[in-house]
Homo-oligomer: A and B are copies of this chain.
């Protein structure tokens, strides 16, 4: 091996970097997504912001996941709101119909009780159909321990 080849090769080995080949780029382009081999999937979505873009993204993301042809009919989702995310559930918010539609698609729509206490929000201010869980963080932790995937939009 010529000397002028050895130096860059050693450098690449040291840094872990290498020139990306056309074959690698082609192989990447040919990837079409993971294959859903399981009979059932579960995901918990975290909503802890009141930025309308984030709330809308959460709702859109959940619908996209439910519509993914790979997961159609075998995906159970839970949406848990805490911290500022609670605002999405307050009566008069613009998300009532979208949230009801999620329930209609089998999504559990739940609120952290801790947040209600910390922010002194009576539960009557939430839409009547919202579920209450002891803490949003506990819910995220228990669900993942059960094998659920987690998504933070």
Residues of A within 8 A of B (CB): 16-21, 24-26, 28-36, 38, 41-43, 46, 48, 57, 60-62, 64-72, 75, 82-83, 100-101, 103-105, 108-110, 112, 114, 118, 128-147, 149-153
**Docked-complex contact A105 and B138, CB < 8 angstroms:** no
Q: How far is the CA of A103 from the CA of B109 in the complex (A)?
A: 33
User: Chain B residues with Cβ under 8 A from A68's Cβ?
Assistant: 114, 134-135, 137-138
Q: How far is the CA of A43 from the CA of B138 in the complex (A)?
A: 10
Instruction: Out of B41, B64, B151, name the residue touching A145 (CB < 8 Å).
Output: B41
Residues from chain B with a CB closer than 8 A to the CB of A134 are: 33, 68-70
Copies held by the complex: 3
Contact at B28–A103, with CB atoms within 8 Å?
Answer: yes
* Bound Cα distance from A32 to B62, whole angstroms: 21
A153 to B140, CA, bound (A): 11
Residue of B nearest to A61 (CB): B137
Closest to A20 in B: B104
Which chain B residue shows the least CB distance to A29?
B129
Is the Cβ of A32 less than 8 Å from the Cβ of B132? yes
The CA of A24 and the CA of B88, in the complex, are separated in Å by 19
| Whole-angstrom CA separation of A112 from B33 in the bound complex | 9
State the Cβ distance, A5 to closest chain B Cβ, in Å: 18
In the complex, A118→B69 CA distance in Å?
16
What residues of B have a CB within 8 angstroms of the CB of A144 in the complex? Answer: 43, 149-150
With a cutoff of 8 Å between Cβ atoms, the chain B residues found around residue A17 in the complex are 101, 104-105
